[in-house]
Amino acid sequence: MAAIGRFQKGDDIFYAKVVDGELFRLQGDVFGSPSYEKKAMPLKGVKTLTPVAPSKIIAVGLNYADHARETGKTLPKEPLFWLKAPTALIPDGAKIEIPFSNHRTDYEAELAIVIGRRVRNVTAAAAARYILGYTSAQDITDRTIQESEGQWARCKSFDTFTPLGPYIETKIDPHDLTIQLFQNGQLRQNSNTSQLIFNCFQLVSFISTNLTLLPGDVILTGTPSGIGPIESGDRLEVRIQGLTPLVNTVK
């Protein structure tokens, strides 16, 4: 596997390959044909950022049958997607903020696709060539607002509502991965990406027929059953097989 992260040291923001707790800085364009410096630098003392700064975040809903059942929704005949604000992004280790204490706000663990090349109208068979890699995410949701409105952009786009990272895995098969969420050490969500109704390649194909995807854009592929509310002080950990865990706390 090849893990790539985005980091900051002082005013310097850079990409690097992560190997056994050390960083090898990237030379060139992460979305092109980069090379890496041979001299390692320690991860300690370097700030981990979200692995990309996307032009847009595309979230997919009701993409696990068990989640559709628990929410009482009908299975979609084609992918159901909407846009989330990029300002909702936070990196691994950052705090999720609940804007309304009297609302129910839920965790949702998700596998995220990171687009590597500009793509429009691609087939599912060719979609893999346009994917840089995969990372862990959450689609935090104000359930109270979601249930009162006909669209889902506002309830999922508050600042801090999209934890993402910490790294992008570029060499992984996304279609048979265990996906879990732990809340304060307790297992809450436990499924496998083989249960996706529309797999990663089908999602890239479908979305690209509706809008142009740019390098760095992120697709959240949906959450399995087991969603539940979060509270201040919670520690949330997304564990997806083959990926570095994503850990955030709530305030």
The pLDDT tens digits for 154-198 are 999 999 999 999 999 999 999 999 999 999 999 999 999 999 999
Residue 195 contacts residue 174 (beta carbons within 8 Å): no
Judged on CB neighbours under 10 Å (0-12, 13-18, 19+), 1 is exposed
What is the model's pLDDT at position 133? 98
Collapse the DSSP code of 128 into the 3-class scheme (helix H, G, I; strand E, B; otherwise coil) and give the result.
helix
What is the model's pLDDT at position 75? 84
Residue the block writes with tokens 């706000």: 105
What is the model's pLDDT at position 43? 87
* Residues 191, 197, 201, 204, CA torsion sign: negative
Q: Which helix (H) or strand (E) holds 156?
A: helix 153-156
Q: How far is CA 190 from CA 124, 227, 238, in A?
A: 27, 10, 10
What is the model's pLDDT at position 246? 98
Beta bridge partners of 163: 90
201 token code pair: 């390649």
Q: What is the largest CA-CA distance in the chain?
A: 54
pTM assigned to the model: 0.96
**Which residues of the chain are under the pLDDT cut of 50?**
1
- Burial call 65-80: b when 16+ CB within 10 Å, e when fewer: eebbeeeeeeeeeebb
Closest CA to 114 of 240, 242, 4: 4
Collapse the DSSP code of 165 into the 3-class scheme (helix H, G, I; strand E, B; otherwise coil) and give the result.
strand
What is the model's pLDDT at position 194? 94
Q: Indicate left, alpha or beta for 121 from its phi (over 0: left) and psi (-120 to 50: alpha).
A: left
Residue 28 contacts residue 41 (beta carbons within 8 Å): no
Query: Rounded to 5 degrees, what are φ and ψ at 156?
Result: -120, 5
59 token code pair: 């979230």
Domains of the chain with CATH codes: 3-47 (2.30.30.370), 57-250 (3.90.850.10)
- Burial call 6-29: b when 16+ CB within 10 Å, e when fewer: bbeeeeeebbbbbeeeebbbbeee
What is the model's pLDDT at position 206? 98
Residue 52 contacts residue 114 (beta carbons within 8 Å): yes
What is the model's pLDDT at position 66? 81
